[in-house]
Amino acid sequence: MRRFSQRHSLVTLSDINITPLLDLAFVLLIIFIITTPLLEQGLNLKLPTGDVIDKKKIDPKDVRTVQIGNDGLYMVSERWMNLADLSRQLVAEHRRNPRLLVYIRADKKCPYEFVASVLDNLEANGIDQVSLRTSPRAH
């Protein structure tokens, strides 16, 4: 019988080098730390001032906030959309949740035409729980 020497056989390593794995984990962690705040940004709006304070307790799951910029851009759920898409999304959510309350936040210099078009679309689709948001007055 012929014996094979250990020098010619393939030697398997039993240790795994985890240094590249740790490098990858740290790079991914840094990427997520940097990109997360960028994904959560909304419109920078200067709301008109008002004196009414919300006294009713409202479940946050029932609220959708529509933000309207000076240039007529609409943002809902951190997504930009046009008026038709906005209307479709809110109608679908209102069908799932009849208690849906729509907050409208518009910049104080925003043309009223953009606010009126959202209000008209909501009313035409039977969504009547709407609140125009303001910032509190400084006393």
| Contact of 66 with 79, CB cutoff 8 Å | no
CA nearest to 112, candidates 52, 70, 65: 70
At 23, the pLDDT band (50, 70, 90 cuts) reads: very high
HSE, side-chain direction, 13 A CA sphere, residue 16? 4
**Residue 7 confidence (pLDDT):** 56
Beta strands 79-81 and 74-76 are: antiparallel
- The identity of residue 49, as a single letter, is T
Q: Which CATH class is domain 49-136?
A: alpha beta
Please tell me the chain's helix, strand, coil percentages from 3-state DSSP, rounded to the nearest 5: 35, 20, 45
Domain ranges of the chain: 49-136
**Residue 108 confidence (pLDDT):** 77
**Residue 134 confidence (pLDDT):** 72
Tell me the pLDDT tens digit for each residue of 91-115: 999 999 888 899 998 887 888 899 8
Is the confidence at residue 9, as pLDDT, over 60? no
**Residue 59 confidence (pLDDT):** 78
Task: Report the predicted TM-score, pTM, of the whole model to 2 decimal places.
Answer: 0.59
Q: Is 77 left (phi over 0), alpha (psi -120 to 50) or beta?
A: left
Tell me the pLDDT tens digit for each residue of 27-85: 999 988 887 766 655 656 666 666 656 556 777 888 898 988 887 788 888 888 888 88
Question: Any residues with CB less than 8 A from the CB of 87 and at least 6 apart, and which?
Answer: 121, 122, 125
